[in-house]
Amino acid sequence: MTLPPVILHQCLSNSLYHYTLSHHFRVRVSNSVLPNSVIFPVAGVAFIVLIPPSPITHYKPNTSKLDTGLQQNIDKFIQIHRHCYVLVPSKYGPEMFSLVQESFLHTKLQVLPVNSPEDAVKAMSDISKLLCKPVVNVMYERFDTMLKSQMTDGVFESILSQIGLDQHHILDICVSLGSSLTFELPCPCHRLE
């Protein structure tokens, strides 16, 4: 069986990240990707791992800022990759996690806390497997089926009754909505092609 490929920045080549990833993936080291990045090309997902020195400059509660170089790297990373994540080691504390999250709240970037390189590799591996084409299609079909069954099993009516509507009004709403009670989840599958 052929192992799926992973592209790792050269600065991570002698790290525990490289060692752990090499057990489950075909690791390629590259100097042309952004520093501290790990890319899963088959899944279309990329990660940046925050590694010392501390990326915070002049930490003061509620007024801290990310290092300018890190800010620019993450901005470029977001522009390049469709599904992108930043892994924040727990040694930076919740302040760093919050700071990165707040700095990129308006973007598609996801921020994940990790305790160790092994946890980071597990998170990257799980996310990349979930975003691979056959798995993501099945996952969205299951979510859609589950959502449709919840809507037909009286959950919608229960919610309407909890906000104070009587049975007559609930029935009117359900009849007027008709088939729109079962709707499609926005599936990102077409974006993975």
Give 5-131's CATH code, choosing from 1.10.40.30, 3.40.50.880, 3.40.50.720, 3.40.50.10130.
Answer: 3.40.50.10130
Please name every residue paired with 47 in a beta bridge, in sequence order, or none if there are none. Answer: 38, 85
State the pLDDT at residue 52. Answer: 65
- pLDDT exceeds cutoff 90 at 63: no
Q: What is the pLDDT confidence band of residue 150, given thresholds at 50, 70 and 90?
A: low
What average pLDDT is seen over the chain? 79
Q: Which of 52-56, 57-61, 101-105 has the highest mean pLDDT?
A: 101-105
Distance (Å, rounded) from C-alpha 59 to C-alpha 44? 34
Q: Could you tell me which residues come within 8 angstroms of residue 92 by beta carbon, excluding any fewer than 6 positions away? A: 50, 54, 55, 56
- Helix axes of 93-103 and 68-80: crossing angle, nearest 10 degrees: 50
- Here the tokens at position 182 are 């079962």
- Report residue 111's pLDDT band, with 50, 70 and 90 as the boundaries: very high
Higher pLDDT, 153 or 149: 149
- Work out the pLDDT band at 193, boundaries 50, 70, 90: very low
In degrees, to the nearest 5, what angle opens at C-alpha 51 toward C-alphas 45 and 57?
Answer: 115
What residues have CB less than 8 Å from 81, skipping those under 6 apart?
Answer: 39, 44, 45, 46
pLDDT at 61: 54
- The domain limits of the chain are 5-131, 145-192
Does the pLDDT at position 172 exceed 70?
yes
Q: pLDDT category, 187, cuts 50, 70, 90?
A: very low
Q: pTM of this prediction?
A: 0.67
Q: What are phi and psi of 140, to 5 degrees?
A: -70, -35
